[in-house]
Structure 1
Amino acid sequence: MTNPFSIAISNELTVPTIKVDSPEDLSKSMNDLGFHDPRPILVILGGAAKMSQTDLDRLRSLFVKVLAPVVEELGAFVVDGGTDFGVMQMIGQARAEISGKFALIGVTPVGKVALPGHTHSEEVTALEPNHSHFVLTPGTNWGDESPWLADVATVLAKGSPSVAILVNGGEISKQDVSHNLRANRPVLAVAGSGRLADTLAFALEGEASDEEVRELVASGLVQAIDFKDSFDSLTELIKSYLS
């Protein structure tokens, strides 16, 4: 396949896509996809298929009322994992709900997602249909995309502000957080969203945790934000990181 190409999400919808093989080629590949100018970047990390419907219903307003409107207002871009689950589904649906025009770039391993016209020997996952672009990375396991996700955000930002927000999340989200911290990107853990985000929030308060979590917190770049705070205060906080 020639870069860039289009993935048919439905009969009416095709999404511009690139397949990347080498980190050294990432900057050129993103240019080929049409991204030339620096933009503030919001990286969305967190729960996918293991999020309960209760969690999804409870957290959806964060995406519709805060994250999508902030990004749209600032002309920022969003980078996430691109599949039709969890936080990625919620930001895709929020973009559609507010009729957002911001670029929403899904970064996902080529061996784990359903591609039209391709036969797959392993179980694959659907891509989220409201994303504007996809970046297919090497790999056949979830987590193979973690370093790429952080790198795509860095390449797109081109020195502009960027921040990652962690909502819920499990073991793979630990890798995602780690790679974003290595990129010197602040990570906001949403306390009250469950699982890893709550674990990081507790660790910031000095509550006992495992060594991996303690190392993440020791970076000094992790901050907890409370899901119970007002939408206005959460909006202003995220704006302060991206402005």
Structure 2
Amino acid sequence: MKEHLNLTFSNGQKACAIEVDDSGDLPAALSQIGLQGSRPVLVVIGGASKMSEESLARLDQLFVEVLAPIAQQLQALVVDGGTDAGVMQMMGQARAEIAGTFPLVGIAPVGRIVLPDAPPVSTEKTPLEPNHTHFVLIPGSTWGDESPWLSRVATTLAGEAPSITVLANGGEIALVDASENIKAGRPLVVLAGSGRLADEITRASRYPEQQARELITKLLQEGHLTLFDLSEPLTELSQLLREWLTQKGLTWR
């Protein structure tokens, strides 16, 4: 485990980052960057590709009016992939829009990201999202290397507090993310109507007589899943997430 880094982004925002090679070092590493104790955790996974303008606007509204405000009101930790793209960018921008103070923690493979103010070494590297407050940089140079770490970090941060995962859109890496969070016993909310993986899971859940991919069938069999349709009132999702994140031992509906 290395010493933590203090990052400053071009928008003036500051963040703490730490590189961790061994999952056994996670508690100490998180403590070193000021993340300790047990508190509710919201995990955000997925993407925002191949969406209609209407669906994209609705998803953005969901981040600004539901996810960021709930995290702010509960001072919950939000954990995601940390890069300046897709739902991670939406989460960061939503936090900025509501002037949030909740911790926003990004988990990313060190070989695939570029730090602020660092000279770009490769066009294949992705910048970090500038409204995140903390980053855990893990070993690897392939997207997906972070999937088990994202789940481990969320579990470590939550401790005895409740945690939940929200999936929007997404592709193959999001499927691995979802599987890792299900394995950790974390309930999964799938945003139906957000496209790609989320809609594939929705179809498999609603039409069990149709053959689905093996990993998705496994998710449905082993996980605590609920579907929320983007066309429904956002207040319903807000209530559902609030109930989960404020109660211990809540039976998933």
TM-score (norm 1): 0.94
1:80-91 matched pairs, under 5 angstroms: 80-91=80-91
Of stretches 6-15 and 148-157 in structure 1, the one that deviates more from structure 2 is: 6-15
| Aligned-partner SS, 1:17 | strand
Contact 1:9–1:129 (CA under 8 A) maintained in structure 2: yes
Q: What pairs with 1:203-242 in structure 2 (closer than 5 Å)?
A: 203-205=204-206, 206=208, 207-242=210-245
Residues 146-168 of structure 1: CA deviation (Å, up to 9, x unaligned): 00000000010012100000000
The worse-fitting range, judged by mean Cα deviation, of 212-221 and 109-118 is: 109-118
4+ residue runs over 3 A deviation: 50-53, 116-119
Cross-structure match for 1:169: 170
Query: Which ranges in structure 2 are unaligned for 5 or more consecutive residues?
Result: 247-253
Distance 1:97 1:122, change over 3 A: closer
Contact kept, 8 Å, 2:40 with 2:161, in 1: the verdict is yes
Matched residue, 1:79:
79
**How far, CA to CA, are the matches of 1:79 and 1:174 in structure 2?**
16
Matches within 5 A, 1:186-201: 186-201=187-202
Displacement after TM superposition at 1:53 (Å) = 6.9
For 2:120 and 2:25, locate their aligned partners in 1 and report how far apart those are by CA, in whole Å: 27
Q: How many residues matched?
A: 242
Question: Contact conserved, 2:168 with 2:194, CA < 8 A, in 1?
Answer: yes
**CA contact under 8 A between 1:51 and 1:86: conserved in structure 2?**
no
* Separation in structure 1 between the aligned mates of residue 52 and residue 33 of structure 2, nearest angstrom: 34
TM-superposed deviation, 1:129? 0.7
RMSD: 1.7
2:179, 2:213 → 1: CA distance?
A: 14
In 2: Cα distance, 1:38 partner to 1:60 partner: 29
Shift of 1:118: 5.8
* Alpha carbons 1:56, 1:86 under 8 Å: kept: no
Structure 2 residue 148 is the aligned partner of structure 1 residue 147: yes
Is the 2:11–2:130 contact (alpha carbons within 8 Å) kept by the matching residues of 1? Answer: no
Q: Evaluate the alpha carbon distance shift between residue 29 and residue 53 of structure 1 in structure 2; reply closer, same or farther with a 3 A threshold.
A: farther
Q: Check the 8 A contact 1:15/1:134 in 2, yes or no.
A: yes
AA matched with 1:24: G
Structure 2 SS opposite 1:197: helix
Task: Determine the structure 2 residue equivalent to 1:105.
Answer: 105
Deviation, 1:13, is 3.1
Identical amino acids, percent of aligned pairs: 46
The two structures have a TM-score, normalised by structure 2, of: 0.91
Match for 1:160: what amino acid? Answer: A
Q: Quick one: which amino acid aligns to residue 169 of structure 1? A: G
| 1:130 aligned residue | 131
**Uncovered stretches (5+) of structure 1, i.e. residues with no partner:** none
3-state SS of the aligned residue for 1:130? Answer: coil
Give, in whole Å, the separation in 2 of the partners of 1:150 and 1:93: 23
**What letter matches 2:106 in structure 1?**
G
